[in-house]
Amino acid sequence: MKKLNIGILGLGTVGGGTYDILVKNKDIIQKRTGVTIEVVKILDLRKRPGVDESLFTDEPDEVLNNPEVDLIVETLGGIQPASSFMLQAMKHGKHVVTANKAAVAATYEELQKTAAENNVRFLFEASVGGGIPVLTAIQNALAGNNFLEVMGIVNGTTNYILTKMTEEGADYADVLKDAQAKGFAEADPTADVEGIDVANKLCILIALLFDKYIAPTDIPTTGISKITGDDIAAAAAEGCKIKLIAHATLKDGQVVCSVAPEKIPDSHPLAGVSNEFNAVYITGDMVDEVMFYGKGAGALPTGSAIVGDIISVAKEL
């Protein structure tokens, strides 16, 4: 039986979910791939009950430069040191799988170039839309298309807030407080509500769909913090819902893009995407419209996407 040894950087929510899937579904993954996949090293300061203590280290090099490790799962979050760790792992000949949209968006070109130079795989399905397998589809099953447009609801916090404002006729500030109390929004919600997280994800979608890198900071970005109950009522009167949309269109060979609240007609498939759900709606010149829908966050949905990427490396062994 072939083996694929995994090193995990950061055993938090997503890293922990990935670990749990690899343990719980080990048998079926082995049956489907013909490969035994095992976590052999974990970079984290905090050990986790139930996980073999000897796997843990607080020394990055013991994972990144470990000859036993074939593939690195990066789930630290944030641009640094995550980006440097991924580049270092690639230079040591290790495949890299990550859920980290901020790092992928900020360091995209260097990460792709370094992966190619070192002949390793660099996969990041989990970085956009959590468990929804949209990036894999763009790069494989849909790759016969010239892509024309993408519209994405790719942030669960803002979609939850907008859904509650719509359903309850409530104002932004009240719903945000409630979302924070329920754990759907962070204490400092800026990255979510101002569209920064969505801009990172749109940068990644544009890179894959249009083979063009536009830095997240160069994407015109408006969040939802200025949306009022009146705005939502006015949209409803026109038969529309307000959604925070990651939007990119190919116009005369140029990519036109924005992150902004948009009025989506009730008849559009994206209008029915409620609460914390995500969806990505893509138009290709051959396939026409396709939409991918599911949970855009959470330990197990996001871990499912990471494990999918690990499986695709395993199948190539």
Q: Which residues are catalytic?
A: 201
In Å, the largest CA–CA distance within the chain is 62
CB of 130 vs a second copy, minimal distance in Å: 8
CB-based contact 293:145 (threshold 8 Å): no
Q: Report the phi/psi class of residue 48: left, alpha or beta, with left for phi > 0 and alpha for psi in -120 to 50.
A: beta
Helical axes 13-24 vs 299-315, angle rounded to 10°? 60
What the block records as the tokens of 224 is 């939802």
* Contact stretch for a second copy (CB under 8 A) within 2-10, 75-83, 183-191, 287-295: 287-295
Considering only 217, 218, 285, 317, the residue that binds a second copy (CB under 8 A) is 285
Question: For 34, left (φ over 0), alpha (ψ -120 to 50), or beta?
Answer: left
What does the block give as tokens for 133? 């397998």
CA distances from 82 to 108, 164, 299, 308 (A): 12, 34, 19, 21
- The correct pick among 7, 156, 223, 301 for binding a second copy (CB under 8 A) is 301
Q: Which is nearer to a second copy, 144 or 239 (CB)?
A: 144
Task: For residue 122, list its beta bridge partners.
Answer: 96
Q: Can you tell me the distance from the alpha carbon of 259 to that of 271, in angstroms, rounded to the nearest whole number?
A: 17
CB nearer a second copy, residue 138 or residue 199: 138
Tell me the window of 88-96, 104-112, 249-257, 295-303 that interacts with a second copy (CB under 8 A).
Answer: 295-303
The secondary structure of residue 146, as a DSSP letter, is P
Is residue 151 a contact partner of residue 281, using CB atoms and an 8 Å limit?
yes
Site string for a second copy, 15-44 (x = CB under 8 A): --x---xx--x--xx--xx-----------
Give the per-residue contact string, 91-130, with a second copy (x = CB under 8 A; - = no). ----------------------------------x-----
**Site map 130..149 versus a second copy, x via CB under 8 A:** -xxx--xx--xxxxxxx---
Q: Judged by CB under 8 A, which of 60, 81, 229, 269 binds a second copy?
A: 269
Number of residues that bind a second copy (CB under 8 A): 48
Q: Taking the complex as a whole, how short is the minimal distance between the CB of residue 207 and a second copy, in angstroms?
A: 13
Q: How far apart are CA 39 and CA 114, in angstroms?
A: 24
79 lies in the binding site for a second copy (CB under 8 A)? no
Q: Does 190 bind a second copy (CB under 8 A)?
A: no
* Shortest separation between residue 60's beta carbon and a second copy, angstroms: 26
Nearest Cα residue to 86 out of 60, 68, 48, 119: 60
Return the range that interacts with a second copy (CB under 8 A); candidates 1-9, 185-193, 242-250, 301-309: 301-309
Q: How far apart are the first and last CA of the chain?
A: 11
Residue 296 touches a second copy, criterion: CB under 8 A: no
Q: Is 312 in the site for a second copy (CB under 8 A)?
A: yes
Of 127, 116, 73, the residue nearest 96 (C-alpha): 73
- Under the binding rule (CB under 8 A), the answer on residue 254 touching a second copy is no
Question: Mapping DSSP to helix (H, G, I), strand (E, B) and coil, where does residue 278 land?
Answer: strand
Residues at the site binding a second copy, with contacts judged by CB under 8 A: 17, 21-22, 25, 28-29, 32-33, 125, 131-133, 136-137, 140-146, 269, 272, 284-295, 298, 300-301, 303-305, 307-312, 315
